[in-house]
Amino acid sequence: MFKEFKEFAMRGNVIDMAIGIIIGGAFGKIVTSVVNDILMPPIGLVLGHVDFSSLFLNLSGTHYDTLAEAKKAGAAVISYGAFLNTVIDFVIVAFVVFLLVKQMNRIMKPAPAPAAPPTKECPYCVSGGIALNATRCPHCTAELKAA
């Protein structure tokens, strides 16, 4: 059983997948930083000095000035600002993956098949695929006019 697992784990596809997951995790951290530290502050500034990560809806009925205070008190809250940041993270990652797959498909596009050599059809047996310079039909052996 250990031998089978070792063979499975050492296949190229499994190792490629593991590398992809590790790089994807690191890429996700970069995108999260871009969203939280670069994109959302200017958007919040334009929308009236709003910090999206601290937006929340208090369900407990008690007033809390910040999300941190509400969480510290154990109040039931909906952190919709953090959700918005996560949605923007997802959209960016999904768009980058789309672009990556699109480019890979363009690069990996199969070469067009070579054109079939020109042939003619036998006027007697109506068989096709006869070379243009053939003088006899390979199917019925009728004599053909040279091209």
Tell me the CATH number at 82: 1.10.1200.120
- Angle (CA) 91-94-98 rounded to 5° is 135
Q: Output 1 or 79, whichever has higher pLDDT.
A: 79
| Co-location of 99 and 143 in the same domain | no
Position 10 confidence tier, pLDDT thresholds 50, 70, 90:
confident
Task: Give residue 12's pLDDT.
Answer: 66
Do 27 and 76 sit in the same domain of this protein? yes
Same domain, 102 and 129: no
Amino acid at 50: V
Minimal CA–CA distance to 93: which of 19, 17, 33?
33
pLDDT band at residue 8, thresholds of 50, 70 and 90? confident
What is the tens place of the pLDDT at every residue in 11-23?
A: 767 778 888 899 8
Whether residues 99 and 27 fall in one domain: yes
**Is 6 exposed, middle or buried (CB count within 10 Å of its CB: 0-12, 13-18, 19+)?**
exposed
Range of the domain at 122: 114-147
The number of angstroms, rounded, from the C-alpha of 89 to the middle of its chain's C-alpha atoms is 15
Q: How many domains does the chain have?
A: 2
- For residue 126, is it left (φ>0), alpha (ψ between -120 and 50) or beta? left
Residues 75 and 55 in one domain: yes
Q: Are residues 19 and 80 both part of a single domain? A: yes
Structure confidence at residue 146 as a pLDDT band (50, 70, 90): low
Query: For residue 119, which phi and psi values (nearest 5 degrees)?
Result: -130, 175
Three-state secondary structure call for residue 135: coil
Same domain, 59 and 21: yes
Mark whether 54 and 22 lie in a shared domain: yes
Tell me the per-residue pLDDT of 33-91, one tens digit each, with 9 for 90 and over: 888 888 888 888 888 877 788 889 989 888 998 888 988 999 999 999 889 888 888 88
Based on the fold, state whether residues 30 and 65 are members of the same structural domain: yes
Distance CA 39, CA 92 (A): 11
45 and 102 co-located in one domain: yes
Q: Are residues 64 and 120 part of one domain?
A: no
What's the pLDDT score for residue 147? 56
